[in-house]
C-alpha cells in the first residue's frame, strides 16, 4: 500500500522522485559510514537474558522488524536505487512479499547459525571484514543512486 501511494506521489510530483533518490543515496552512504565504524564498537553480550521458546523468539523478531522504521528506510533506499519511476503493477505485490521473505529467511538463518558457539566465534573473528564489505556494498548503492 505504501509503495502504491509513493508511486502515485512520484507520478504526480516528478521532482519528489529526485529528492527521494538524493535522500535515499545519502541515507545509504550514512549506513555505509556506520558500518565502516562499527567494528570498533563491542558486541552486546546478552548474558542475563532468560531463555524463551522458539515461537516467542520468532514472534518478537517479526514484531521488532515490522515496527522498525529503519527497515522501511533501507528497503525504500534500495528500491529507489534499483527501480525506475515506471513500476509494473505486479511489483506492488512481488516487492513487499520478496522483502518480507528475504528478511525472514535471513534473520532466521543468522539466529540459527549464531546460536552455536563455533559459528559465533567465526563471526566475531571476521566481523571487521564482514562489516567493511557490507559497508562497501551500501556505499556503492548510495553512490549509484546519487549518480543515477
Helix %, strand %, coil % of the chain (to 5): 80, 0, 20
State the number of CA atoms in the 13 A half-sphere of 77 facing the CB: 26
Q: Tell me the pLDDT band of 48, cut-offs 50, 70 and 90.
A: very low
Which 8-state DSSP code applies to residue 40? G
Model confidence pLDDT, tens digit, residues 13-44? 888 878 878 888 898 899 899 888 865 565 55
> How far does Cα 19 stand from its chain's mean position?
20
For residue 108, the model assigns a pLDDT of: 82
Q: Could you tell me the three cell numbers for 88?
A: 509494473
Sequence ranges of the domains in the chain: 2-147
For residue 44, the model assigns a pLDDT of: 57
For residue 56, the model assigns a pLDDT of: 82
Model confidence pLDDT, tens digit, residues 65-112? 777 777 777 777 666 666 666 777 787 788 778 888 888 888 888 878
Alpha carbons 14 and 16: distance in angstroms, whole number: 5
Amino acid at each position: 500500500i505504501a509503495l502504491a501511494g509513493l508511486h502515485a506521489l512520484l507520478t504526480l510530483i516528478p521532482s519528489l522522485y529526485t529528492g527521494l533518490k538524493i535522500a535515499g543515496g545519502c541515507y545509504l552512504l550514512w549506513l555505509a559510514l556506520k558500518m565502516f565504524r562499527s567494528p570498533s564498537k563491542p558486541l552486546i553480550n546478552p548474558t542475563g537474558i532468560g531463555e524463551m521458546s522458539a515461537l516467542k523468539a520468532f514472534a518478537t523478531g517479526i514484531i521488532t522488524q515490522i515496527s522498525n522504521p529503519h527497515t522501511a528506510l533501507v528497503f525504500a533506499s534500495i528500491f529507489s536505487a534499483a527501480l525506475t519511476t515506471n513500476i509494473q503493477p505486479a511489483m506492488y505485490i512481488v516487492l513487499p512479499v520478496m522483502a518480507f521473505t528475504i528478511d525472514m529467511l535471513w534473520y532466521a538463518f543468522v539466529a540459527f547459525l549464531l546460536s552455536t558457539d563455533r559459528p559465533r566465534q567465526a563471526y566475531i573473528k571476521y566481523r571487521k571484514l564482514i562489516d567493511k564489505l557490507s559497508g562497501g556494498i551500501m556505499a556503492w548503492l548510495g553512490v549509484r543512486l546519487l549518480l543515477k
